[in-house]
Amino acid sequence: MRISPSLAAVAIMLCSCAVANAQTLPAYMAPISGKTAGTSSDVATRDMLALNTGMFELYGDAAKIFQKNILGKHPVILGLFSGAGGRMILYRPGMAPIDAPQVPIVYQLLKSVGHSTMALAQVVGPYIDNGDDKSWRGSMLAYRSRMQSALDVLDATPMEPGWRDNNRTILQNNIAFMDECVARGVIPFAALEAFGKKQAPYLAKNVAWAAQTQVAHWMTVLAEWKKQLGADWDKTYAASNTIYVARQNNVLFSVLAQFFGPDAINNRLLLIETISFTTTPADMLESLTRIIADRSVGALFFGNYHLMDYELMGGDARAAIIAETGKRGMTPFLPPVVPFGSKQWPTLVTPGPGPATIADLK
């Protein structure tokens, strides 16, 4: 390789600086010059850890190719949580993605009215039995105005008459409670508790109707997609996202499971945990790609296709926990061992006493 005269000059200068005494450096180098203090152990540790850091960069590069390969061979359905009742996208090899129609708007109307009642508990919660603090009044009066506006237009909403009557009662009860609080100038806990019990049966109806609307919609969408895909359904992957509060009885995942069947759970049908209610299709595809790609790695090194679905150190850590608790005179408390590739629902499945639905609370 030919080196230009200017580069050669720079190289000579750098070599000269390397052997020069620190005192010969120009003054403008003083603030940033000095000898580094690193031991051979520090350097060795850094170089070893760089292997792990570099792995993630290589993973990222490979994932782009893996994702293209997966989408080129397999249909993929993403079920994404949203405030509108969810979003489902169908990806088919060599074709543009299909975004399913949204859940009927009545679903959002039912949730909006239900949430408006729960929001009141947030408005007044910090000020219970505190007559000296009136800072809640502004927020409550502003929200009351919105509540009244919603009540005024309720009859024009696309809602069944019986559902509309139930929501009218909820909104009227909300306004009456707010007016009572403003008139008193204080929010007694007894009043809030009575309000909650009064609204509960009406709210329960809204929850049930919203669920029926959401489930009927997505069952219809998936039935059509399964018919459209035909034999390709058996090689289709699907994933839904969830956060802590939505992991149990996750609506989108549960509906998907009806069409994919038990054998697909944790195999072609996945529940992916996220840190917020909503996430992007790109992030979901990235997670799905990583899971599928890691399975091939597990099969390559350990001969088990689903090994990498689990924390690799989990089994050995389990044995270590048992050993360490024994040393400390403790009884280990661990979940049962399940095999790699378990088809168990990725949610709580152990039955027990106590209410498990809103209906049970009655």
Q: pTM score, two decimals? A: 0.85
Half-sphere exposure of 127 (CA within 13 A, CB side): 19
Helix (H, G, I), strand (E, B) or coil at 263: helix
* Domain locations along the chain: 72-102+236-351, 106-207
Q: 29 is written with which tokens?
A: 């180098």
Distance between CA 137 and CA 139 in Å, rounded?
A: 6
Helix 161-184, helix 137-153: angle, nearest 10: 150
Helix (H, G, I), strand (E, B) or coil at 25: coil
How far from 140 is each of 120, 129, 175, 319, CA to CA, in Å? Answer: 8, 16, 10, 55
Q: Is residue 43 within 8 Å of 255, Cβ to Cβ?
A: no
The phi, psi pair for 91, rounded to 5°, reads -105, 130
Residue-level pLDDT, tens digit, the chain, 362 residues: 444 544 444 444 444 444 444 457 888 887 877 777 778 898 899 999 898 888 878 878 888 899 999 999 999 999 999 999 999 999 999 999 999 999 999 999 999 999 999 999 888 888 999 888 888 899 999 999 999 999 999 999 999 999 999 999 999 999 999 999 999 999 999 999 999 999 999 999 999 999 999 999 999 999 999 999 999 999 999 999 999 988 999 999 999 999 999 999 999 999 999 999 999 999 999 999 999 999 999 999 999 999 999 998 999 999 999 999 999 999 999 999 999 999 999 988 888 899 988 888 87
